[in-house]
Amino acid sequence: MTYIKPRFRHPELPKNKIGYAKADYEGAISTLCAGCGHDSISGAIVQSCYELSIEPHRLAKLSGIGCSSKTPTYFLSNSHGFNTVHGRMPSIATGAYLANRELIYLGVSGDGDSASIGMGQFVHAIRRNVNMVYIVMNNGCYGLTKGQHSATADAGAQSKTGSVNPFPSIDLVGLALELGATFVGRSFSGDKKQLVPLIKAAMSHPGFALLDVISPCVTFNNKPQSTKSYDYVRAHLEATATIDFVPHREEITVSYQPGHSASVELHDGSVIQLHKLAPHWDPTDRSSAVTRLLESKIKGEILTGLLYIDPESQGLHELEETVEVPLNTLQEEHLNPGSALLEDINNSFR
C-alpha cells in the first residue's frame, strides 16, 4: 500500500457548478484499516460537498480524538481543519462558529469521543443549537486503543477478545431528540444513497444537525453477533423514509403519490423530499420520531434516515442577536469605544 496520493487529474473530469472536480474535495490517503466504515463516510462527505458546490475554503472541519477524528485529514484538503483534544470538539466548534457565522462547520466525532469523554460538550452544543453538522462515526468500540467497548456498544455485545458488554448502550439519537436537537438523523456507512442526501440536508440546516452514522470497525467489532457489524446492520436496517435533497437552485421534477411522501422546505429554499414514509411518522413532529425510534428498538431494528427536523430552527447567532457580519471581521473602529468615552467611565468611578 502506498501513502503517496497521485495528484494527476484527468482534464475531462466532470465539474460542479463552481468549476470544481470531485477530486478537489478529496484529502490525503486514509491510514485507517482497509474496509473501515469511516472511509465510506469520508467518501460521502466528499460527494455531498461536490454536489452542493461548496467552496472548500468556506467549510471548516473539526474533530476530537480517535479513529473517526482522524478522518478530516482524508477529505477536503483545501479546507482548514482542527483536530482538537478528546471529546472537546463541540466547544471549539462553538467558538469558531461565534467568530465567523458564514462558514459551514463540519464536526466529526466518534462514539467514545461523543458518548463518553465528550458527553457534556456534545449535550451543550445541541442545547445551544450551534450551527454545525455533527457526524458521529459510531462503531461501538475504541479502535485506536484496540477494541474496548464504548458507551454505545449494545448490552451483550461481544468484543473481539470475547468480553461481553454488560451495560446498556447510550443511544445518541434518542438523547438528541430528548435534548431538543433541531435536526436528527441516523444512517449507515454502507448506505451512501441515504447518507449523501442526509449530509446535504444537514449542511443546509440552520442549527445543530446530528448524524449518527453506524460505521463498522472491521478490525475489532465486526463479528456477526456485534450489533455494529456489517452483517447485523444490513440484516436489521429499517428506514423512516427514503430521502432526496433538492438544493434551492434546482427545480423539483419527480412527483410521488400523495400520502406516502412529504417534503420539508428549509430556510434557504432547499427542500428535503421524503418518500415511502414509515407509518405514523412525521419528520417535523418530535414525539412521532421518539415513538418510532422506541418501536424499532423493541423490534430489534436499527431505524435510519431523517428522524426529526425543526424547520423553524434558529442558530446560536440568532439567539444571541449578534451582528450580521462575522465577528472576526470587526476592526478597531467597530470595537473600540475610544478615549473620550473612557474618560466618562473614569468619571463614573470618582
Is residue 16 near other proteins by the rule CB under 8 A? Answer: no
Using CA atoms, how far apart are residues 247 and 245, in angstroms rounded to an integer?
6
Applying CB under 8 A, does 235 fall inside the site for other proteins? no
Residue 79, interface with other proteins (CB under 8 A)? yes
Query: Which residue is it, cell 444512517?
Result: 187
Q: Report whether 281 contacts 326 (CB < 8 A).
A: no
Is 66 a binding residue for other proteins by CB under 8 A? The answer is no
Q: Does 82 bind other proteins (CB under 8 A)?
A: yes
Pairing of strands 80-83, 141-142: unpaired
Cβ–Cβ under 8 Å, residues 266 and 204: yes
Can residue 342 be called a binding residue for other proteins (CB under 8 A)? yes
Q: Which residues contact 184 (CB under 8 A, 6 or more apart)?
A: 173, 176, 177, 209, 210, 289, 306, 307, 308, 309
Regarding 2 and contact with other proteins (CB under 8 A), the answer is: no
- Give the type of residue at 131: N
By CB under 8 A, which span of 40-48, 146-154, 270-278, 324-332 interacts with other proteins? 324-332
What does residue 258 show for φ and ψ, rounded to 5 degrees?
-65, 155
Residue 10 interacting with other proteins (CB under 8 A): no
Q: Which three cell numbers stand for residue 113?
A: 469521543
155 makes contact with other proteins (CB under 8 A): no
Burial 144-171 (b: 16+ CB within 10 A, else e): eeebebbbbbbeebebeeeeebeeebbb
Binding mask 114-153 for other proteins (x = CB under 8 A): ------xx-xx---x-------------------------
Closest to other proteins by CB, 75 or 230: 75
265 is a contact residue toward other proteins (CB under 8 A): no
Does 58 bind other proteins (CB under 8 A)? Our answer is yes
Site residues, other proteins (CB under 8 A):
55-58, 60, 72-73, 77-85, 88, 90-100, 102-103, 120-121, 123-124, 128, 316-317, 320-324, 327-328, 330, 332, 334-339, 341-343, 345-346, 349-350
